[in-house]
Structure formats: C-alpha cells, structure tokens
Amino acid sequence: MAEAWEPFEVRLRFPSRMEWLDLVDRVAAGIAAQLDLTQDETDAIANSVVEAGTNAIQHGHHYDARLPVDMIFEVRGDRLCVRVHDVGPGFDVAKVLSADPTSPESILAPRGRGIFIMKSLMDEVEFVMSPGSGTTAVLTKYHRAAR
Amino acid sequence: MKATTRYEGDVAVLVLSGRVMGGPDADAVGQRIRECLDRGSRKILVDVGEVTWVSSSGLGILIFAQARVVQAGGVMKLSRVTHRLRQIFMVTKLHQVFDSYETNEEALRSFAT
C-alpha cells in the first residue's frame, strides 16, 4: 500500500434527538481533517454520516430520545469505516436501493433520498440487520490511493 | 435553523441559517414563504449561504417551498449555495430543479431580466 492512515477509533453514543447531529457533523469534519481529505471527500463523509444518523433517529427509533444511537468512526490503513447502529427492526433494503429519486417522476418527491445520497457519496454502503439486535449502517470511504 | 426575511425592491429574501432538517424547520420555512406570498411577493430568493448542512428531509422543505411559490405564480431562486449543499444537489440532480446563484447580487439581477 502506497499510503496508509494511522489506525484510530472514535465512538459516540447520543440520544435520538436531531440536534445531536450537529456534534456528529463536527466529529466527521474533524476526522476528515485528521485524514487530510479534500473538501469534496470531507463533505461527502459529513453529508453521509448525517443522513445515516437521521435515518437511525427517524426510522430506527422514531425520535424516542431514550434510545441511544451508537456511531463508531474506525480508521484502519486504507479506509474510514463509519458504523451507525440503531435498535430498530430495519427496512426492506432491496426496495429502497431499487428506487431512483432522480427519475423524472420522483425528483420532486419530498422524501426518499437519504440512502441514495449515502450510496452516491461513499465508496461502500451496507446495512446489517438481524432480529432483536437492530440495524447497522456501515459506510466506507477508502484512502484515495486504495480506490 | 433560523429563518428571517428582508425585502430588496420587489424581491423577498428569505435567509436561512444553521441546519435544515425537517420537522419544525418545515413549519418555519412554510410560514415565511406564506408571509411573503400574502404580502404579494412573487419573487423569492432563498439565501442558503449560512446553512451548515441540509438533510434529505431538508431538501424536501426546499422542494415544497418552491412548489408553493410556483403554485402562487411566483419564482423561487437560491443564492450562496455552499460546496456541501451543491454536492447534494448534484448527486440528487436537484441542481436541475433549483435556479441557483453564487451571490445575492447575481440572483437579484436575474429577477430583473
């Protein structure tokens, strides 16, 4: 590997309230600065992580502030991996991924862009769901030398 | 999110700042737009230069606002779109939906033409 990032990990646990996403946003930007990412890469990560947090709060926890959202920023070698966990039952991934919010019939829809934005801006997006243990969105951005 | 309105000639300038993410933000923007329309303004400029971030729900607010203005026979434009917001507009193709300008001056001039 030509270049690599020094491994580190940042963990957040916050109540399911939207105002906490400001902190998430600042942490994402701070980590991007540590990794010497471009403005485009920094914005991509911050936009995606905020969307993942929004999904966890809105759809996973239905704004129930008693339920915490867990977020782990994990940097290892060639990648930044962000895991966003909620305790919700999950959703039909195939259905959501098959939707195209940029199509003429959907472009003016008020909702339905969150996962599309994450998929467009990150290198990999995966959702891990299992009954009883909630849903984890796994967002990955690779070091530009590894892409 | 904060929303304030000022008037520059016949253009209502709605200035948004902070995060735009749905819920109460939708009510605030909806109310401001309604006030502008009730006052007779049909040229509405939304200045997003001080917006820190916009969630996908926040995009819905802007889409809905534009639909209301158009429905009332008006025109809505955006100014001072940040790099970050422009990135979201590009991936969602909403740059084709919103008429956006780098500066307020440029946007205000465009209403006159």
Which domains, and CATH codes, for chain A? 5-146 (3.30.565.10)
> Is the separation of the CB atoms in A11 and A72 below 8 Å?
yes
How many interchain CB pairs under 8 A, A with B? Answer: 69
Which parts of chain B have pLDDT scores under 50? Answer: none
Residue B66, CA distances (Å) to A118, A119, B72 in order: 25, 26, 10
How many Cα neighbours within 13 Å face the side chain of B45? Answer: 26
**Under the phi-then-psi rule, with left for phi > 0, alpha for psi from -120 to 50, and beta for the rest, what region is A66?**
alpha
Residues in chain A, total = 147
Q: Mean pLDDT over all residues of chain A?
A: 93
Report the C-alpha gap between B26 and B65 in whole angstroms: 9
Report the C-alpha gap between B58 and B67 in whole angstroms: 14
Residue with tokens 């819920």: B23
A22 touches chain B (CB under 8 A): yes
Q: Report ipTM for this prediction.
A: 0.90
pLDDT band at A22 (very low <50, low <70, confident <90, very high): very high
A44 touches chain B (CB under 8 A): yes
Report the C-alpha gap between B87 and A34 in whole angstroms: 22
pLDDT of A117 > 90? The answer is: yes
- Test B21 with A54 for CB contact under 8 angstroms: yes
Report the C-alpha gap between A27 and B25 in whole angstroms: 23
Report the C-alpha gap between B48 and B89 in whole angstroms: 13
Mean pLDDT of A35-43: 95
Report the C-alpha gap between B39 and A75 in whole angstroms: 53
Share of chain A above pLDDT 70, in %: 98
pLDDT band at A1 (very low <50, low <70, confident <90, very high): very low
pLDDT band at A45 (very low <50, low <70, confident <90, very high): very high
pTM for this predicted structure: 0.92
pLDDT of the residue at A144: 82
Residue of B52, B53, B54 to mutate, interface with A, max A Cβ within 10 Å: B53
pLDDT of A27 > 70? The answer is: yes
Closest by Cβ to A107, choosing from B23, B61, B97 = B97
| Overall fold of domain B2-101 | Transcription Regulator spoIIAA (3.30.750)
pLDDT of the residue at A131: 83
- Test B57 with A22 for CB contact under 8 angstroms: no
pLDDT of the residue at A82: 98
Give domain limits for chain B. Answer: 2-101
CA A81 to mean position of chain CA atoms: 9
| Residue A138 structure tokens | 């796994």
